[in-house]
Amino acid sequence: NNLILIMTKPKLLVAMSSIPELVIELLLERFEVEIFDFENATKKEILNKVRGKFGIFCCAWTKIDEELIKNAGPSLKVIRTMSVGYDHVDLIAMKKYGVRLGYTSNISSEAIAETTIALLIATSRRLFEANHALKTDGWKQSLFWMCGRSIRNSVVGIVGCGNIGISIAKKLNTFNISQLLYTSRGEKPEAKTLGGKLVTIDELVKQSDYIIVSVALNEDTKCIINRKRIAKMKSHAVLVNIGRGELIDQGALIEALRENRIGGVGLDVMTPEPLPLDNPLMKMTNVVLLPHIASASIETRTEMAIVTAKNIIAVLDNTSMINELQL
Ligand code: DGY
């Protein structure tokens, strides 16, 4: 009797489209790959797709909840998100079902810091407003028209001083700011070297001309920029958020903007995403909105995708995975 052994590859679900071809090829060497974009899919379709998968390759807007993890069944060994944030993943359920979680940590810090500086200047110097005026026949040849505020000589506060916060601080260092403030669980030697002063969040919002939110979203940081803290901000303060929308009480922020209690806001992240077109933020001239693209440079996103793929393979090989979250 001849025994025929048929080896099948484990199944991997890529929960988004537009993944570079070379990454798919890398994954195909070891997996039976199915690409299924969660974006416009129903929950039922998603639950159907995850069943029997070994791994899920996802990103920041792919919600990974207990129902999904449970539904995938015991074959599910790894979820690897192509994002630095993992607030979209139910960590308790991951631990309960013994599924490993990896994220992309420091790869995107530089690209995010570049976008942060761009958003800060675009908001403070009213670049989009000026561009809109020019294109709609509103160009005025008046010297104080479209004036904004400089970054030079200003106090800049960074909420959360992890890898991204440090990359932002390094870039700000070339702008001749008067003081860099930051919040963190403890003093950061790197931030100190850059002249940064560790302060409480309440001191930071009160003293800063520019406030940059770059902290991870979790139960402790949800609405860290709340109504009380918005009320403490300077009337010309510019707030920039490149973390997650839920870090800010958006209702309180809209009120403050309507009443001109703060200078302006630059948001790469908001609640919800995509932001509905009738949201009041859409119509405000002192608000610059970007569609969650802080890390969207080709080089960065390609590297994030390659590392994500390699690390899913690492789990298959039972070797260590870089940037694995210890659950
Ligand atoms: C991240 O990496 O978490 C960014 O928000 C982009 O997905």
Is a pLDDT exceeding 80 seen at residue 97?
yes
244 CA closest ligand 1 atom index: 5
At 5 the pLDDT is 74
Backbone angles phi, psi at 122, to 5 degrees: -60, -40
Catalytic residues: 292
Ligand 1 centroid–CA 186 distance in Å is 24
* CB 247, CB 241: distance < 8 Å: yes
Q: What global pTM score does this model have?
A: 0.95
Helix (H, G, I), strand (E, B) or coil at 237: coil
In tens, the pLDDT along 217-263 reads 999 999 999 999 999 999 999 999 999 999 999 999 999 999 999 99
Q: Using most ligand atoms within 8 A of CB, pick from 84, 270, 308 the residue to mutate for ligand 1.
A: 84
Work out the average pLDDT over 158-186. Answer: 97
Pairing assessment for the beta strands 287-289 and 324-325 based on DSSP bridges: unpaired
242 CA closest ligand 1 atom index: 5
Is a pLDDT exceeding 80 seen at residue 7?
no
In tens, the pLDDT along 102-130 reads 999 899 999 999 999 999 999 999 999 99
Q: Locate 76 and state its tokens.
A: 């599910």
At 6 the pLDDT is 72
- DSSP state, residue 30: T
* CB 70, CB 93: distance < 8 Å: yes
Q: Whose CA is nearest to atom 6 of ligand 1?
A: 83
Ligand 1 centroid–CA 7 distance in Å is 36
- For residue 130, give the amino acid letter: A
Asked if ipTM goes beyond 0.90, one says yes
In tens, the pLDDT along 181-227 reads 999 999 999 999 999 999 999 999 999 999 999 999 999 999 999 99
Ligand 1 centroid–CA 60 distance in Å is 6
Residue 40: pLDDT band with limits 50, 70, 90: confident
Helix (H, G, I), strand (E, B) or coil at 68: helix
At 1 the pLDDT is 63
User: What Cα–Cα distance (Å) separates residue 291 from each residue in 33, 61, 107, 227, 244?
Assistant: 29, 12, 20, 24, 12
Work out the average pLDDT over 33-42. Answer: 94
Angstrom distance (rounded) from CA 20 to CA 306: 9
Q: Work out the mean pLDDT of the chain and round it to a whole number.
A: 96
At 257 the pLDDT is 98
Ligand 1 centroid–CA 136 distance in Å is 34
Q: Using most ligand atoms within 8 A of CB, pick from 59, 114, 301 the residue to mutate for ligand 1.
A: 59
Q: Whose CA is nearest to atom 4 of ligand 1?
A: 83
Ligand 1 centroid–CA 64 distance in Å is 15
Residues with CB under 6 A from ligand 1: 59-60, 83-85, 108, 295
Angstrom distance (rounded) from CA 231 to CA 246: 18
In tens, the pLDDT along 51-95 reads 999 999 999 999 999 999 999 999 999 999 999 999 999 999 999
Residue 3: pLDDT band with limits 50, 70, 90: confident
% residues pLDDT > 70 (the chain): 100
Q: Whose CA is nearest to atom 2 of ligand 1?
A: 83
Residues whose CB is less than 8 angstroms from the CB of residue 144 and which lie 6 or more positions away in sequence, other chains included = none
86 CA closest ligand 1 atom index: 3
At 118 the pLDDT is 98
In tens, the pLDDT along 261-300 reads 999 999 999 999 999 999 999 999 999 999 999 999 999 9
